[in-house]
Structure 1
Amino acid sequence: MQKPEFPCLADTVDRLQILGADENLSSKQLGRAIATDPALAAAVIYHATHIRHRHLDNPINNLRQAAMMLGVTTVQDLAKSLPIADKHFSDGPREHYHALMGHAALGGMLGLAVARERRDLEPGEVALASLLFPLGMLALWAVSPTEMETLSNLLGQPGVQAQEAEYIVFGTGIEDAGRTLAEAWKMPELLCRALEPTNALEPRALGVMLAGKVAWHAVSRWNNEGLISDLRLMASYLGLNQSGLADLVDECIEEFNEHCDTYGLAPLPLLKHVPFQEIRPRPPAFCLAPQSDVCARVERRLEAFNRNDAPAILESCIYVLHRGLGLNRVIFARMEQQGEPVPSLIADSVIGTDYEPDFNRFRLRLEGGHLFCRLMAKPTAFWLKGREQKAAWDLLPSEVASLIGTEQFLACSLFVNGTAKGMIYADRRHPACGIDEATFRNFKRICQQTVKALSRDPPLPNPDAQTART
C-alpha cells in the first residue's frame, strides 16, 4: 500500500456535499466532519503532508490545519477517490470494519478530552494521533480482509490474547505494522511516537495510547481483560478519581452515541455503570510454541554482530526470546542514572506488550536491596518459579508483582566488560503457560550470546583493501 486508501463510510461523500454548500463553513467545522471518518482523516493528512507547494518546515499536526490548507473541494475529491466500505467488504468483515472505525473515532474524541484535561497546548494534535492510532488495523482491513476476519474470529474465543493472535495470523504485531506505515507515510510525529510501546514513558504519547485503549474497551462494552489497570493508569495520568474519570469518558461516549449507528454499533454503555473491578483472567486458549528455526537464524545473526551494533543486538535478543523461545513478554531495561544518586532500570526495548501501556512504563529504582538490586550486582541469570521460592519472592518489589501479574519469570543482568548495561526480563504472562528447564537453559544461552556480541570488537580494516583503494 503506497498511501492510505482505506474504505470510507457510505455517507461521508454526501455529508461533505452538504457541508460544501455552506458558504460560512469554517476549517474547524470541516476538520470535525473529517474526524468522523478515520479513513478520510488518514487520506487528508497524507495529502496535506505531501502537497508539493507546502512549506516543509511547517508540519501538519491536526485536522483543522489540513482542512484549512486543502479546502472543502479537495477534501470532497479525496473522499470520492476512496473505496466505500459497504461495497468493499462482505457482511462479516464490514461489521468488524465499521466497529473499528467507531473505535478510532471515539479514540479521537477521548484524545481531545484528555488533552484538554491536561491543558495541552495542541489538543488537536493529540486528538489526531488518537484518531489514527489504529492505523495498522485500518491498513490490514483494506489489504487483507480475509486474514483480519480470521483474527477477529480468533479474538472472539475465550482466553485469546490480541498480541498472540496477531502473531499467529500475521507473524507480527499490528502496532508494528502501523508504526512502519506511519513512518513511511510521514504521518504526524506524535502518532509515530505513540505507536512505539516504550514511549509510554512520554506523557503526550501515553495520552494517545490511553485514549486508544479506553476507546477499545468501550467499543468492546467494557468486557476486556486489563480494563481496570488501564483505567487506573488513565486516572493517575489525568489526576482524577474514579468518578472524575467516568465523567470525562462518559461525556465523550454520550456524544459518540448520538451517531453510533454510523458505525453499525448500538449505544455504548457509560463507564459510570461499569463495576470498578478487574475481569477475572481467562485461561489462555493456547501458549506460544518455541520455533527452533527462528532461534537458529537469530543466533547466527548475533554471532555476526559486534559492539558497534548494540541497538540491533538488543532488538535481536528480545525478538528471539519472544518468537524463538515462545516467551510472551520480553523487556530490555537499560541501566540509567542521569545524575541521580540511585540508578534505575528503564524499559528500553519491548516485545509482546503492545496492548499494555502500564507494562511498557517499567521503571524501577535500584535501592533498598530488593530482588533486582541483587540481580544487578553481578552477571546473573535467574528463574523465579513462584511463591514457593519464599526467600526470592519476599524480595520482589510489590509494584513489580502487581505490574507483571504472574508468579513466574526469567531475568538476566547484562554486564559488558564488567559494566552493568541493563537487564532482560521475560515471562509467559499466564501460569498455565509455564516455564520449564529447557526454556531457562535456552534463555541463559541467548543472554550469554547477547553479552558476547555487545563485547565483540569490530573487525580490523583490511590493509590489502586499503592499499588497493589508494
Structure 2
Amino acid sequence: MSVPSLDQLLDHAETLPSLPEVVAYLIRALGDDNADLETLAHHINSDPAIVARLLAAANSASSGLSKRVHSAGQAFLLLGADRIANIVLASSLICRYDVHASGFSARLLWRHSLGVAVCARALAEQSGINPELAFTSGLLHDIGQLLMYTASPGPFLKALDHHQNDDIPLFEAERMVFGYDHCEAGRVLATAWKLPSDIVDAIAAHHEPDGFSSEVGDLVHIAECLSHALDLGELPNNRVPELSELACARFGLSWPKFTSRFAEIEARFDDFRAALGI
C-alpha cells in the first residue's frame, strides 16, 4: 500500500477543515501585546457554534451558582480571559477535527493533547514563557497524527499496530511505515497554516528536542512526558516517553519544586475535560 511523501502530505491538508476565524485570531494574538478582550469577544460572537460551546463550558463551571450563564460577556466575567481563550481554542479544534473511524479516535487524541496543554501551561507559568503560547503548542503538538490518518488511514493504522504490539514509540513506528513521523507531518501542516514559528518548532521537536534549539519545544517535550506520567489522557497501554535530560537542563526544570503542583495540574485537567465534554 503506497503512502504519501512528506511533500505530498500537504495536498491532503486541504481535506482538513480550515481553522475557524476565532481560532486563527487567538493564535495570532499570542504574541500581540495590542490584542484586546473586545476584539476577542467580537470574534467569538461571530461563530454561533463556538458561542454555544463556550456557554456550555461556563455553565458547567458555574454549576454551584443560582443563575445560568447566557452570554459570552457573562462567561468572560465568570471565567476570565485566559480561561476563555483556552476553552474557545480547545473546543473549536475538538469539534472541527473530531474524526470518527474504526481503529482511530480523534477524541482520544484531543484528550491527550489537552493533558499536554495543561501541563505545558503550568510549566510556562514558572518559566516566563507565555502561558497561552505554551497551552496552544501543547494542544496542537500531535496535529500531524490527524493529517497522516486523513491522508493515508490504512498505513497509519498499521503504524498504530506496530506501536501497540511491538512496544515501540509511535513516532518510530510511523517512520517504519511512512518514512517520516507525526512531528514532521505536524510541522508541515503548521507551516501551511502560517502558525507562529514557536508553535511550529514545538510541534517538530516534542519527541526529540535534543536536535532542536527551541525553548517551547523543550517545554512541550517535558509536558508530554509529564502528561503520560500523570496518565491525564487515560490512553490505552499508556507509556511514559523517555525524558530528555538536555531539554530539562536547558529549560531549568527543578522536579522537586514542581512536583508540588501535580495535584493542581490534575484538577485543572479534570476541570477542562468536564467543561469540554471529552
- TM-score, normalization: structure 1? 0.39
1:256 paired to 2:269:
yes
Asked whether the equivalents of residues 111 and 207 of structure 1 are also in contact (C-alpha less than 8 Å), the reply is yes
Q: CA deviation at 1:221?
A: 8.0
Larger radius of gyration: 1
C-alpha distance in 1 between matches for 2:217 and 2:75? 32
Q: How does 1:216-231 map to 2 (within 5 A)?
A: 216-217=228-229, 218=231, 219=233, 220=235, 223-224=238-239, 226-227=241-242, 229-230=243-244
Q: CA deviation at 1:3?
A: 7.6
Q: CA deviation at 1:116?
A: 0.7
1:34 paired to 2:84:
no
Aligned residues: 214
Q: 1:106 aligns with which of 102, 115, 118?
A: 115
Aligned CA distance change for structure 1 residues 163 and 92 (closer, same or farther; 3 Å): closer
Asked whether the equivalents of residues 7 and 142 of structure 1 are also in contact (C-alpha less than 8 Å), the reply is no
1:21 paired to 2:74:
no
Task: Name structure 2 gaps, 5 residues minimum.
Answer: 1-12, 21-48, 59-69
User: Higher helix fraction: Structure 1 or Structure 2?
Assistant: 2
C-alpha distance in 1 between matches for 2:178 and 2:145? 12
Q: 2:254 aligns with which of 240, 252, 271?
A: 240
- TM-score, normalization: structure 2? 0.62
SS in 2 for 1:186: coil
Q: CA deviation at 1:232?
A: 9.2
Q: CA deviation at 1:17?
A: 5.2
User: Higher strand fraction: Structure 1 or Structure 2?
Assistant: 1
Task: Tell me the equivalent position of 1:133.
Answer: 141
Asked whether the equivalents of residues 214 and 231 of structure 1 are also in contact (C-alpha less than 8 Å), the reply is no
Q: Which amino acid aligns with 2:53?
A: R
Q: Which amino acid aligns with 1:206?
A: D
Asked whether the equivalents of residues 6 and 139 of structure 1 are also in contact (C-alpha less than 8 Å), the reply is no
Offset from partner CA, 1:381-403 (integer Å, 9 cap, x none): xxxxxxxxxxxxxxxxxxxxxxx
Task: Tell me the equivalent position of 1:267.
Answer: none
C-alpha distance in 2 between matches for 1:199 and 1:168? 20
Offset from partner CA, 1:355-399 (integer Å, 9 cap, x none): xxxxxxxxxxxxxxxxxxxxxxxxxxxxxxxxxxxxxxxxxxxxx
C-alpha distance in 1 between matches for 2:71 and 2:115? 27
Fraction of identical pairs, as percent: 18
C-alpha distance in 2 between matches for 1:263 and 1:165? 30
Q: CA deviation at 1:90?
A: 3.2
SS in 2 for 1:153: helix
Q: Which amino acid aligns with 1:188?
A: P
Task: Name structure 1 gaps, 5 residues minimum.
Answer: 41-78, 265-470
Q: How does 1:277-288 map to 2 (within 5 A)?
A: none
Offset from partner CA, 1:130-174 (integer Å, 9 cap, x none): 221112113224444443333222211143332331023322111
Asked whether the equivalents of residues 38 and 131 of structure 1 are also in contact (C-alpha less than 8 Å), the reply is no
Task: Tell me the equivalent position of 2:124.
Answer: 115
Q: 2:200 aligns with which of 192, 198, 212?
A: 192
Q: CA deviation at 1:93?
A: 2.0
Asked whether the equivalents of residues 82 and 132 of structure 2 are also in contact (C-alpha less than 8 Å), the reply is no
Task: Please give the root-mean-square deviation of Cα atoms over the aligned residues, in Å.
Answer: 3.6
Asked whether the equivalents of residues 163 and 170 of structure 2 are also in contact (C-alpha less than 8 Å), the reply is yes
SS in 2 for 1:118: coil
Offset from partner CA, 1:260-319 (integer Å, 9 cap, x none): 47676xxxxxxxxxxxxxxxxxxxxxxxxxxxxxxxxxxxxxxxxxxxxxxxxxxxxxxx
Q: CA deviation at 1:250?
A: 3.6
Task: Tell me the equivalent position of 1:215.
Answer: 227
Q: 2:104 aligns with which of 93, 106, 117?
A: 93
Q: CA deviation at 1:212?
A: 2.9
Asked whether the equivalents of residues 104 and 132 of structure 1 are also in contact (C-alpha less than 8 Å), the reply is yes
C-alpha distance in 2 between matches for 1:207 and 1:173? 20
Asked whether the equivalents of residues 228 and 241 of structure 2 are also in contact (C-alpha less than 8 Å), the reply is no
Q: How does 1:76-87 map to 2 (within 5 A)?
A: 82=96, 85=98
Q: CA deviation at 1:36?
A: 3.3
C-alpha distance in 2 between matches for 1:250 and 1:93? 30
Asked whether the equivalents of residues 112 and 124 of structure 1 are also in contact (C-alpha less than 8 Å), the reply is yes
C-alpha distance in 2 between matches for 1:210 and 1:6? 29
C-alpha distance in 1 between matches for 2:217 and 2:193? 19
Asked whether the equivalents of residues 182 and 192 of structure 1 are also in contact (C-alpha less than 8 Å), the reply is yes
